[in-house]
Amino acid sequence: MNSQHKKFCDSLTSDEKMLIVLRDELYDGSWDKMLQDLKDRLKGKPYIFKLVNRIQDDVVRIEKLRDYEQKNSINLSEYIKGSSNA
């Protein structure tokens, strides 16, 4: 296991780790499907303001995680499985 990637995963917030888990469980491991779903929800009316802020924050988190995976050709879920923080 690459220590650089493990260090990156250890630095993730619990929200970021949860997004990786949800991506794998609900969106077949696809950041693109997850982002599209969240962006579609933002377009819907009516909506709860607090939820919109959460979705916008999650979109930023997802883009950060997706970019890291693409840059390093890895799947972060391999580094957080078994982690007590996820």
Residue ranges of the domains in the chain? Answer: 3-80
Per-residue pLDDT at 40: 82
Per-residue pLDDT at 11: 94
pLDDT level of residue 75 (50, 70, 90 thresholds): very high
Q: Count the alpha carbons within 13 Å of 35 in the hemisphere toward its beta carbon.
A: 12
Per-residue pLDDT at 12: 94
> In the 8-state DSSP scheme, what is residue 84?
T
Using only the alpha carbons of the chain, give its radius of gyration. 13
pLDDT tens, position by position, 8-66 = 999 999 999 999 998 998 888 999 988 888 888 878 755 445 566 778 888 899 999 99
Per-residue pLDDT at 62: 93
Per-residue pLDDT at 17: 92
Q: Got the DSSP string for 23-70?
A: HHHHSTT-HHHHHHHHHHHHHSSS--HHHHHHHHHHHHHHHHHHHHHH
